[in-house]
């Protein structure tokens, strides 16, 4: 994707539900630091335009440099773990996200501020608590209405999220996979989404699967 000089308009802040990443036919691998907690984790903070398009890979002269985020590493390991195979310590995922998306936010956030902003947004959203307050708890074989999930997050954060679903490998049910929230360009405040993302949609009743008994399909 070509480098564009036009500033972006807002971010999608995307969090993933680890059980739904792991229970598809593609499988997953736990990070070297161990199985993540049963909580949402960060996928990325993605600069976007109001027309739905987005910039990517904006600066090949400022690629990921782990020495800039050493003080954030223990938080990143917990809150931004990588579940892709082969298992890794997270650096590859963080590096990918910075190089592809973070470099497009540089006029507002340098590397350290970018990762710090994402961690702070995750705390602020506190999705697991928002759902729990509404009685929506991870469980297998139990279905919640998509509306009740969106309402619970709106009630707790003030903003309606976009929910992306995927399909579990064994039971073939739609399940909560990712939650998109919109954030203004400085990276600290949620806003109403100017345009909805293209993530795969959900049926009206979806599963919010448990992560506690999931095992990675293969570890290396
Ligand atoms: P990646 O680049 O993350 O390896 O692959 C991303 C692609 O995998 C996306 O285009 C997405 O459509 C697809 N995908 C959809 N659901 C899942 C899932 O639950 N787990 C994984 N690993 N990939 C998925
Ligand atoms: P997927 O096919 O998994 O939905 O998306 C693949 C990748 O494309 C994402 O991991 C992300 O890097 C990028 N992407 C997909 N949709 C959007 C979008 O609406 N905005 C931005 N900024 N990036 C996106
Ligand atoms: P995107 O380009 O869609 O922002 O990020 C997806 C890329 O990050 C894919 O290449 C995928 O393999 C890698 N990745 C590593 N760990 C994870 C993870 O835990 N979740 C997701 N969705 N992608 C991951």
Give pLDDT tens digits along the chain (220 positions).
Answer: 555 445 899 999 999 999 999 998 788 999 988 999 999 999 999 999 999 999 999 999 999 999 999 999 999 999 999 999 999 889 999 999 999 999 999 889 999 999 999 999 999 999 999 999 999 999 999 999 999 999 999 999 999 999 999 999 887 899 999 999 999 999 999 999 999 998 889 999 999 999 987 766 544 4
Q: How far is CA 82 from the centre of its chain?
A: 11
Tell me the CA–centroid distance for residue 68 and ligand 1, in Å. Answer: 28
- Length of the chain measured in residues: 220
Phi then psi for 72, rounded to 5 degrees?
A: -100, -5
DSSP-derived secondary structure for 73-88: HHHHHHHS---SSSP-
Alpha helices per DSSP H over 104-193:
111-125, 127-133, 146-157
Active site residue 174: no
- Of the residues 79, 101, 164, 174, only one is catalytic, namely 101
Q: Whose CA is nearest to atom 7 of ligand 1?
A: 26
How confident is the model over 134-179, as pLDDT tens digits? 999 999 999 999 999 999 999 999 999 999 999 998 878 999 999 9
User: What is the ipTM for the molecules in this complex?
Assistant: 0.83
pLDDT value, residue 219: 46
In ligand 3, which atom is closest to the CA atom of 81?
Answer: 19
pLDDT value, residue 172: 85
190 close to 111: Cβ distance less than 8 angstroms: no
- Of the residues 79, 97, 164, 207, only one is catalytic, namely 97
43 close to 84: Cβ distance less than 8 angstroms: no
- Answer whether 166 contacts ligand 1 (Cβ < 6 A): yes
In ligand 1, which atom is closest to the CA atom of 28?
Answer: 22
């Amino acid at each position: 994707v070509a480098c564009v000089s036009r500033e972006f308009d807002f971010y999608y802040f995307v969090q993933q539900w680890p059980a739904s990443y792991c229970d598809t036919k593609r499988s997953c691998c736990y990070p070297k630091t161990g199985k993540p907690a049963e909580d949402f984790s960060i996928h990325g903070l993605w600069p976007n335009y109001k027309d739905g398009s987005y910039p990517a890979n904006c600066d090949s002269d400022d690629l990921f440099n782990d020495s800039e985020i050493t003080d954030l590493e223990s938080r990143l390991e917990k809150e931004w773990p990588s579940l892709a195979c082969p298992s890794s310590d997270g650096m590859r995922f963080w590096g990918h996200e910075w190089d592809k998306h973070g470099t497009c936010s540089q006029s507002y956030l340098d590397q350290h501020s970018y990762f710090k902003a994402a961690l702070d947004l995750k705390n602020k959203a506190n999705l697991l608590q928002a759902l729990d307050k509404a009685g929506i708890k991870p469980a297998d074989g139990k279905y919640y209405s998509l509306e009740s999930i969106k309402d619970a997050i709106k009630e707790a954060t003030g903003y309606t999220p976009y929910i992306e679903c995927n399909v579990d490998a064994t039971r073939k049910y739609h399940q909560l996979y990712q939650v998109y929230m919109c954030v203004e360009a400085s990276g600290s405040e949620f806003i109403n989404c100017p345009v909805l993302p293209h993530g795969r949609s959900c049926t009206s009743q979806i599963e919010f699967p448990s992560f506690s008994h999931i095992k990675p399909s293969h570890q290396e």
